[in-house]
Structure 1
Amino acid sequence: MIVTLYSQAETERFAEDFAEFLKPGDVIALSGDLGTGKSTFSRALLRYLAGEPELEVPSPTFTLVQTYDLERLFLAHMDLYRLEEPEELEELGLEDTLERGAALVEWPEMGDARYWPEALLVKIEEGPEPDSRIFTLTPQSSDWDARLKRLQARRELLLGTTWMERPRDHLKGDASTRSYLRLNGEAGGAVLMDYPPRAGEATLPSGKTYAQSVHLAHSIDDFLAIAEELRHRGLRVPEIYALDRPNGLALMEDLGTQFIVQDGAPIADRYKRALDVLLHMHQQAWPETARSGDATHALGRYDLASYMTEAELFMEFYRPHAEGKEASSKDRTLFKEAWQKALAPLEALPKTWVMRDFHSPNLLWLDRAEGLDQIAQIDFQDALIGPIAYDVASLVMDARLTIPRDLQEELLAHYCEKALKYLSDFDEGLFRYGVATLAAHRNTKILGGFVRLNTVFGKPAYLEHLPRIREYLVQALSHPELEELKTVYDVILPSNPLLHSASK
């Protein structure tokens, strides 16, 4: 990959784009004559990773190594110019560094390339014009080759737009493979979404992957198709400014930074407006296939197999986490049979498009808008067909923050009052049973899913939410018609005092 840059600002933007692809174990071998811009590139990269534009980045010329223990990545900045013997690399702790994070190595030719056989080689040379530079990036592994192709695709999407010149802001992602960049600018700026297709996922005994079994989206086509249908039905979603469908890239409208929560607390009026959005959706007949140009997405259905695949995350991951050992086959059978019985009445609930994660991290508040346009959805690609109670349960028992019980009841009453008026044959008793059952199911799934994110993917931050989610689970299981299901949880979690005490 060869990139020609014509100013220091362009070099800094390139460093920011490049930084998005760094991960633990990486070595960046950065070479170039004195004055070609190695320090400029390194400084911009480190400041971007730190999220601090004014971060002091001293040259490691005399210290040989400078370390940065950043939230996103531990990085060692090394300068080997004064290295007398390549063997001195061991004294700089390169091996320990790569176990923790990545290394940015200037003057790599003074060391020994055998220490970094899969490094990315980055050579900087003076360009044809003053202040211009030519970057030549040579991958030494297939992994880096794939990352560079994605880096190039991102930059090509931005070429010719005003956003190419804007500073980047990394947006903290969710538990998916998607990643986002906010491109600062006027009129709210823009957001670059990087949505690689699913690939290489393990299969379950059924022969399907987990994503296939529970109907998770496969690619950006699913996002585009769902977005178009929502937009067509008068719902607020981001506009698409530029698109690279083959690479799963979209440059989208930046809808701002206000959510339906403020200072970590739910805003009742905003939650009620979100429920109004759901009621608007629940009054409509939705197609089984969504389309946007050539992009199509056939929506799956929340059937018993889907429910049980999600619920089994609890038995596979959370139950061993809580009890210290695997569940017995008897416990698994009790769990499955109880859930089948609890879910059966939901077939009588009206069906709609279920957004699946209709909760605070995915609902923006547009203060200057009116009516339903005040709520914008930004995460909806996993939509499927299911009962009207699902998204209401997701909202009133928000997994990312605590919704007080009195506010939960206020929100449910708000929805039910309007549903009795606008939805024909609305059965409030069945609906409230559905909310309780689906809240219990959803929090069961999330308990297993969050432990899985820590166990399999090394993301311990999700464990912080477990106490709240356990409390939601106990609350949902307190519904009188779920007593039998609650008894099963008491059996399969015999030594978990928090689960029992939370119900008292």
Structure 2
Amino acid sequence: MSLKTDQQIVAFLEANGWLGATSELIKPDASARCYTRLHKNGKTIILMDTRHVVREQTVQFYKVAKLLRAHGLSAPKIYAKNKAFSLLLVEDFGDALFARLMAQRPELEEPLYRLAIDMLLRLRSLLPSRKIPLASAKTFKQMLDPFFETYLLDGDDSQNKKLSILANISTCLAEFDGSLTTVALRDCHSENLLLLSDREGIAKVGLLDFQDAFRCHPAYDLVSLLQDARRDLSENLECRMITYYLSSSKDEKNRFMRAYRCLGLVRNLRILGVFEKLICDEGQSFYAPLIPRVKRHVEITLQDPSLSLLRDDILAYFRAPKTLVER
């Protein structure tokens, strides 16, 4: 249905002065949200259509955006919303995605990652709000559900390996669970960050897709940034950026890196499951080329001796002949 024939959207745009705007559909993300850039009288704005998304997600987007802006971070302003929180008009941050800029100008890669890390360090200074849910060990184990639902082992050994993985993940999480907590954007990667050239300092980093933010260890967002499903970083660059982060955060390196590896493992296994579901259930085949990169992140992480008890069980799932998609 076009904007001109969708009566809900027509009424919403008319009430907020944007009826008659020309429209430009923006490439969708992995969610059911739809984004359209509207042009009128030399100005632009983003129409965010979340009618096929659980209302609470959009309410949380609104709350987190307000919290981030209050602390000098660049989350989009929300100019209008309907009562159901299903249609919103939000600030247009443009198209200068970090991923796009780094592809066009490789010399910007390290400066942009440093800028993103500066933003994460500011984010870490926020007092965690009770409006942001706390990620517990149970939360992280539940995050693995998409992996176990799509990567399948035959035979009786399947359940034993799953229980072994969950038990060993719990042991890893227990070492730092609750010891250091901050707001984590949760999907902090190169296609959710935009360069806002007209701003200064960390305000240059435009933030998107933070409605799933939770409170957890700060290593979560760092590993999201540096182990990106959508683009390759050299191992050397990843190490330099970790060193840059730690030089400011003053965390004890070994302890921080144990959290980095454990949370990165959970995140990347979840991504594998989510991508397989998107391919299988929604026909979004463009996620398929990303899967080998995410598997490499997992395999490299598992080389660390601290995760030796997880290595064989997880790699058994990678060696299995079939995923849900392939079946």
TM, length-normalised to structure 1? 0.59
Q: 2:148 aligned to 291, 315, 331, which one?
A: 315
Q: 2:173 aligned to 336, 343, 346, which one?
A: 343
- Alpha carbons of 1:186 and 1:375: their partners in 2 closer, same or farther (altered >3 Å)? farther
- Alpha carbons of 1:490 and 1:436: their partners in 2 closer, same or farther (altered >3 Å)? same
Instruction: Give a deviation string over 1:425-483, Cα, whole Å, max 9, x none.
Output: x3221111111111111111101111011222222221121011011111222222112
Maintained 8 Å contact 1:197/1:219: no
Q: 1:249 aligned to 87, 95, 103, which one?
A: 87
Q: 1:222 aligned to 60, 68, 79, which one?
A: 60
Maintained 8 Å contact 1:220/1:248: yes
- Alpha carbons of 1:471 and 1:187: their partners in 2 closer, same or farther (altered >3 Å)? farther
Q: 1:430 aligned to 216, 231, 255, which one?
A: 255
Which residue identity is paired with 1:252?
A: V
Maintained 8 Å contact 1:193/1:250: yes
Rounded Cα–Cα distance in structure 1 between residues aligned with 2:85 and 2:198: 34
Q: Which has the higher strand share?
A: 1
1:241 aligned counterpart, secondary structure: strand
Q: Which has the higher helix share?
A: 2
- Alpha carbons of 1:315 and 1:325: their partners in 2 closer, same or farther (altered >3 Å)? farther
Rounded Cα–Cα distance in structure 2 between residues aligned with 1:260 and 1:326: 45
- Alpha carbons of 1:439 and 1:182: their partners in 2 closer, same or farther (altered >3 Å)? same
Q: 1:168 aligned to 13, 19, 23, which one?
A: 23
Aligned match of 1:287: 129
Larger RCO: 1 or 2 (CA < 8 Å, sep 6+): 2
Aligned match of 1:271: 113
Rounded Cα–Cα distance in structure 2 between residues aligned with 1:288 and 1:343: 22
Aligned match of 2:208: 378
- Alpha carbons of 1:464 and 1:186: their partners in 2 closer, same or farther (altered >3 Å)? farther
- Structure 1 unaligned segments of length 5 or more: list them: 1-14, 19-147, 200-216, 290-298, 421-425, 497-504
Maintained 8 Å contact 1:182/1:190: yes
Q: 2:3 aligned to 17, 23, 31, which one?
A: 17
1:158 aligns with 2:13: yes
Aligned match of 2:139: 306
Which residue identity is paired with 1:402?
A: D
How far does residue 494 in structure 1 lie from its aligned partner after superposition?
4.1
How far does residue 368 in structure 1 lie from its aligned partner after superposition?
2.1
Instruction: Give a deviation string over 1:143-185, Cα, whole Å, max 9, x none.
Output: xxxxx7xx22211121165532222111111121211101124
1:236 aligns with 2:91: no
Aligned match of 1:473: 298
- Alpha carbons of 1:184 and 1:487: their partners in 2 closer, same or farther (altered >3 Å)? same
Maintained 8 Å contact 1:16/1:168: no
Aligned match of 1:123: none
Structure-to-structure mapping, 1:400-419, within 5 angstroms: 400-419=230-249
Instruction: Give a deviation string over 1:306-326, Cα, whole Å, max 9, x none.
Output: 111111321210x23xx6889
CA RMSD of aligned residues (A): 2.3
Rounded Cα–Cα distance in structure 2 between residues aligned with 1:263 and 1:372: 18
Which residue identity is paired with 1:196?
A: R
- Alpha carbons of 1:161 and 1:244: their partners in 2 closer, same or farther (altered >3 Å)? closer
TM, length-normalised to structure 2? 0.89
Structure-to-structure mapping, 1:120-139, within 5 angstroms: none
Aligned match of 2:163: 333
Maintained 8 Å contact 2:117/2:245: yes
How far does residue 263 in structure 1 lie from its aligned partner after superposition?
5.5
